[in-house]
Chains A and B, each alone.
Chain A
């Protein structure tokens, strides 16, 4: 029977097998093939459990508690599996013994680990941590008969962006790491623990990285948001505002840190009028011309011919992970919102394998499904998540009617803690969360009007969103305190009032937008260190610039120390 709720603390907790008689939300987000392709291991984000699926009988044969919230999983060697627990910030080493999965080692890693990659020789493993912007290089340890292998941190590599997807390169020792929000791509050498380059591709929400079967290209699935387009129905109809792409990069350009990463590249547009293929996710390359891409926002797998034509295969709710079968004749898709694994062949869907019973959904659960549903927008080109990535922001400019007009694109606002920071929008006109939700769906997404229940569900979900954790990186407490003092003495707290560091009025702070608007509602500063640009038009690319270069409401010159202290304080929020 399942041990519900609390976990057994300690190094080697006894995993329990749960029965499907106990309904729970699982949210499968990662897959790994084991046993020469006979078994599929499924990592569940919501339940923190691991499901084992027998592919021959097409059923879930076991579920094992392992973590608080699993984000990724990979097979290290026969019988040995690595997984990341985003909830407890740990890398887990698991062993498969007699049909069971046991956690045999745990390693604390940098905050919010979300993905892992294993080097070809199995000697190194890379864990990407989202909010701490860190790559932890771990030695998984070798078996030496009897002693349980230990996980050991070898390097820590700091990144200038929040990472998510990873792809090991053919040389076996370097890994390409993609931005969780924007378009940055970092090249990290796992042996030396060095950041070799950071480059950028146009686009955001990179959720799929894969090597092509011909070994010459890197495939990247992502979206793009064009600030020159308007969120009116016509621009959305033609996919001009947000659209998804499969970008094909030349591997030579990728592996050469000094090269223009776009040299020799080209893109396949993934959506078309009426089927926008919102939120493209993981990629499974089938052969030199065919690639499968999960479309999380539309519940489809796209069968992409790299020469252009695309077929759509309907699967379960929010498919985000995909792996090819051992014989490459079919693919397995993790349906995050259906708690199932769909089997697809390159033109149709086969079975849908349920992982267990699902309970009745709460209002917030239903709201979460709406948040990630591209069907909320006209043509299915984007979901709320496409811009407000996982409840945060993709860091881009969008020209919506949020400010009352077109022609002055504004920064997409993060939604962490949004329920507490009324009024909403850059001009702060809307004072009821349900009204803001309805306005966004109608005037930004031009979808079908929401029912009252749907609006309430989305509101319930938004209320669960917290501001991101601060960017830790050894914050100097003294500096933070001095900075706090400055924040008060410079009267920043007049508009950015604690505890939300926002207020309900709109102020003229010397900024004007293209439409002549001068009064803006101060956004909350909670989690401000996790943003990539500041002010309504992202004119400041760092906190330091916002104060020093743009002189945001500083009444006097600040010394370099004072500037550093103030920035340190802001980063502590």
Chain B
């Protein structure tokens, strides 16, 4: 769930929807073929387990991971978990035995009439990753490449988020400044043709692949505005589509503060923050909103922390081969202005590491509610024998003095769950997870609001931030 934010963003860009179950074969497959499939599944699953054991910063034992897979397979087979399964797993002593056992359970799941390989895969790995501290995610290599582009904010495409609307690919959002925007595409337009091919009936994944391509390459799309019949043909050149990771506005006039929100931490974030200094240097204070801030790569979080701190220790990361300490360089942004940081349970991962760093260096007053307490940092690792990658927690972020930002009971439950209200996202409720290792704000907020996403116009939080910064009085004349 740590990757919730990136996942959400990816979903916005890829709009992947798994379309319906695969139609079942008419003929019954050979039993040899079935055996090969069973072993192939077992090999892949065990390869993934080995990667977890080698690369995860603090993995559960092998037997527990295998047991989790078997339980998932039993559930998929719609059969009760056999008694004594734990004992059986404990007695496994060779790789062949592991393989055979996993293959056996897979075969049972395979025999169900409603067998769907993708759904089975997804279900098994969801269960497996549920017991991994920091969670996990399997991605095809091509999606990993996109994620890397997003992390470095060098995403190459035509600059739209696309989803399915009544089986027709529709532009959910046009990214300002991108090629599609320049060509006049609008939110809500359907994409009727791509490079001469009709899009009707194609799964969304295929649509996305048709739209993607290397920078500089061209694609011709035919757009149709919602509820109109007129069609527009546009030739677009794919290019880098920079996305803003920082949003900001001036709030109030006397005192005035800059309200800066870091949506996610990416390579461009320190650059975007630095551009704000001449704009806001005359205000009385800064309110930095880290609610819902999704931290991506450790390297980028280090650079953002460095941008906010004038020297001092940032924090450390504990990895399988040791601990790395990070220290901020001299100089920082908006050095002269008092800083309040808004946090709550949706501030997780590198976001809460950043909050802890500014708090520990006495650079900022934290306001709000305790953070998630789930400060893992993930990397993607290739799975041998295929072109998938596994995204998993390879590091645990800690405060500079070694203070934990992750509970002693490994954080396997998500930091919060969003219980959805209506489909439009209204009335969602955030349910906080376990309490340990969370960054505590100096100024707790008495707000009963627990919705998601955090509101854009937030006078209540801002007012309490101003109070905390002692800015609710007129500043002394210079």
- Give chain B nearest CB distance to A288 CB in angstroms: 13
- Interface-side segment among B68-76, B276-284, B347-355, B356-364: B276-284
Q: Do A273 and B335 form a contact, CB below 8 Å, given A226-B329, A230-B299, A267-B277?
A: no
| Stretch of B52-60, B166-174, B266-274, B404-412 on the interface side | B266-274
Find A238's partner among B271, B281, B330 (CB 8 Å cutoff): B271
Q: Is B451 an interface residue (CB 8 A)?
A: no
Residues of B within 8 A of A417 (CB): none
B458 contacts the other chain (CB 8 A): no
Q: Are B278 and A227 in contact (CB under 8 A)?
A: no
Task: Count B interface residues, CB 8 Å.
Answer: 28
Contacts of A488 in B (CB 8 A): none
The answer on a CB contact under 8 Å between A239 and B271 is yes
Asked whether A228 lies within 8 Å of B302 as measured between CB atoms, the reply is: yes
224-280 of chain A: CB within 8 A of chain B: 224, 226-230, 234-235, 237-240, 243, 262-269, 272-273
User: Is the Cβ of B278 less than 8 Å from the Cβ of A307?
Assistant: yes
Check B270 against A238 for contact (C-beta < 8 Å). yes
The residue in A228, A265, A308 that gathers the most chain B C-beta atoms within 10 A of its C-beta is A228
Please pick, from A226, A264, A272, A273, the residue contacting B303 in the complex, using a CB distance under 8 A: A226
Q: Which residue of A lies closest to B325 (CB)?
A: A514
- Residue from B268, B279, B328 within 8 A of A308 (CB atoms): B279
Please judge, given known A-B contacts A226-B306, A228-B302, whether A308 and B278 are in contact too, CB under 8 Å.
Answer: yes
Q: Name the residue on A nearest B270 (C-beta).
A: A240
Contacts of A240 in B (CB 8 A): 267, 270-271, 303
Q: Which of B317-337 contact A (CB under 8 A)?
A: 324, 326, 328-331, 333-336
Task: Return chain A residues, CB-CB under 8 Å to B268.
Answer: 238
CB < 8 Å: which of B267, B275, B302, B329 contacts A269?
B275
B277's partner among A237, A243, A269 (CB-CB below 8 A) is A269
- Residue B213 at the A interface, CB < 8 A? no
User: Which residues of the other chain, A, contact B270 by a CB distance below 8 angstroms?
Assistant: 238, 240
A202 is an interface residue with CB less than 8 A from chain B: yes
User: How many Å lie between the Cα of A269 and that of B267 in the bound state?
Assistant: 17
Q: Is the CB of A273 within 8 A of B331?
A: no
Q: In the complex the two chains form, what is the Cα distance from A187 to B271 in whole Å?
A: 32
- Tell which of A235, A266, A308 has the most Cβ of chain B within 10 Å: A266
Given the interface pairs A266-B277, A266-B334, the reply to whether A228 lies near B303 with Cβ below 8 Å is: yes
Q: Are A234 and B303 in touch, CB under 8 angstroms? A: no
Contacts of B306 in A (CB 8 A): 226, 228
How many angstroms from the CA of A307 to the CA of B268 in the assembled complex?
21
Of residues 262 through 309 on chain B, the ones whose CB sits less than 8 Å from some CB of chain A are 267-268, 270-271, 274-275, 277-279, 281, 299, 302-303, 306
Most buried by A among B278, B303, B335, B336: B278
List residues of chain B with CB within 8 A of the CB of A229: 303
Any chain A CB within 8 A of the CB of B464?
no
Instruction: Give the dominant DSSP class at A's interface.
Output: loop
Which of A200, A266, A273 makes the CB contact (< 8 A) with B281?
A266
Size class of A's contact patch? 20 to 34
1/0 per residue, CB under 8 A from A, across B403-435: the answer is 000000000000000000000000000000000
- The residue in B303, B324, B333, B334 that gathers the most chain A C-beta atoms within 10 A of its C-beta is B303
Let me know if A203 is at the binding interface, CB within 8 A: yes
User: Is B5 engaged at the interface, CB distance under 8 Å to the other chain?
Assistant: no
**Nearest neighbor of B266 in chain A, beta-carbon distance:** A238
A495 at interface by CB-CB < 8 Å: no
A437 at the interface (CB under 8 A from B): no
B154 CB within 8 Å of chain A? yes
- Measured between beta carbons, the chain B residues less than 8 angstroms from A264 are 336
- Give complex CA distance A514, B333 in Å: 27
Query: A226-B329, A228-B329, A234-B152 in contact; A266/B303 too (CB < 8 A)?
Result: no
Query: A226 — which chain B residues lie within 8 A by C-beta?
Result: 303, 306, 329
How far does the alpha carbon of A265 sit from the alpha carbon of B333 in the complex, in Å? 10
Looking at A235, A243, A514, the one whose CB has the most chain B CB atoms below 10 A away is A235
A364 within 8 A of partner (CB): no
Q: Does A306 contact B (CB under 8 A)?
A: yes
Q: Give CA–CA (A306, B281) in the complex, Å.
A: 10
Partner of B278 from A237, A272, A306 at Cβ < 8 Å? A306
Contacts of A198-239 to chain B: CB distance below 8 A: 200-203, 224, 226-230, 234-235, 237-239
Most buried by B among A202, A235, A240, A514: A240
Distance between B187 CB and nearest chain A CB, rounded to angstroms: 26
Which residues A264-312 have CB closer than 8 A to chain B? Answer: 264-269, 272-273, 306-308
Q: A226-B306, A229-B303 are in contact. Are A263 and B271 (CB under 8 A)?
A: no
> Per-residue 0/1 for B233-273: is the Cβ within 8 Å of any A Cβ (1 yes, 0 no)?
00000000010000000000000000000000001101100
In the complex formed, the residue of A with least CB distance to B478 is A264
Q: Report the minimum CB–CB distance from B376 to chain A (whole Å).
A: 20
A227 touches B152 (CB 8 A): no
The answer to whether B279 and A307 have CB atoms under 8 Å apart is: yes
- B153 an interface residue at 8 Å Cβ cutoff? yes
Contact mask for chain B residues 142-158; partner A; CB cutoff 8 A; 1 contact, 0 none: 00000000001110000
Q: How far is the CB of A202 from chain B (nearest CB, A)?
A: 3
User: Which residues of chain B come closer than 8 Å to A200, judged between CB atoms?
Assistant: 330
Contact residues of A between 411 and 427, Cβ < 8 Å to B: none
Query: Are A234 and B154 in touch, CB under 8 angstroms?
Result: yes
Are A265 and B336 in contact, with the CB atoms below 8 A? yes
Q: Are A237 and B331 in contact (CB under 8 A)?
A: no
With a cutoff of 8 Å between Cβ atoms, the chain A residues found around residue B302 in the complex are 228
Contacts of B331 in A (CB 8 A): 201-203, 224, 262
Give the CA-CA distance A237 to B328 in the complex, in Å.
21
B residues near A239, Cβ cutoff 8 Å = 271
**In the complex the two chains form, what is the Cα distance from A272 to B267 in whole Å?**
14
Q: Which residue of B lies closest to A267 (CB)?
A: B277
Q: How far is the CB of B351 from chain A (nearest CB, A)?
A: 18
| Chain A, residue nearest B269 (CB) | A238
Give the docked Cα–Cα distance between A230 and B329 (Å).
14
Question: Chain A residues with Cβ under 8 A from B154's Cβ?
Answer: 234, 237
Chain A hits for B271, CB < 8 A: 238-240, 273
List A contacts of B277 (CB < 8 A): 266-269
Q: Closest residue to B271 on the A side, CB-wise?
A: A238
Assembled-state Cα–Cα distance A200/B329 (Å): 13
Name the B residues within 8 Å of A238 (CB-CB): 153, 267-268, 270-271
Q: From residue A419, how far is it (CB to closest CB) to chain B in Å? A: 33
* Complex: chain B residue closest to A264, CB-CB: B336
CB distance from B219 to the nearest CB of A (A): 23
Q: Within the complex, what minimum Cβ distance (angstroms) separates B363 from chain A?
A: 14
* Residue among A230, A234, A268 with most chain B CB within 10 A: A234
Bound CA–CA A228/B303 (angstroms): 7
A263 to B310, CA, bound (A): 13
List chain A residues, Cβ under 8 A from B329. Answer: 202, 226-228
Task: Evaluate contact between A262 and B335: CB separation under 8 angstroms.
Answer: yes
CB nearest to A272 among chain B residues: B275
Q: Is the CB of A268 within 8 A of B267?
A: no
Pair A235/B279 contact, Cβ less than 8 Å: no
Q: Closest Cβ of chain A: how far from B280's Cβ, in Å?
A: 9
Q: Which of B153, B278, B335, B336 contacts A268 (CB 8 A)?
A: B278
In the docked arrangement, what's the CA distance between A267 and B331, Å?
A: 11
Q: CB-nearest residue of chain B relative to A237?
A: B154
Knowing that A202-B331, A229-B303, A269-B277 touch, tell me 8 more A-B residue pairs with CB under 8 angstroms.
Answer: A226-B303, A228-B302, A237-B267, A238-B267, A239-B271, A240-B271, A262-B335, A514-B324
Interface residues, chain A, CB within 8 Å of chain B? 200-203, 224, 226-230, 234-235, 237-240, 243, 262-269, 272-273, 306-308, 514
Mind listing 5 A-B residue pairs with CB under 8 Å? A228-B302, A238-B270, A239-B271, A266-B336, A273-B271
| For the complex of A and B, 8 pairs with smallest distance between CB atoms | A202-B331, A266-B281, A234-B152, A308-B278, A238-B271, A202-B330, A268-B278, A269-B274
Q: Chain B residues in contact with chain A, CB under 8 A?
A: 152-154, 242, 267-268, 270-271, 274-275, 277-279, 281, 299, 302-303, 306, 324, 326, 328-331, 333-336
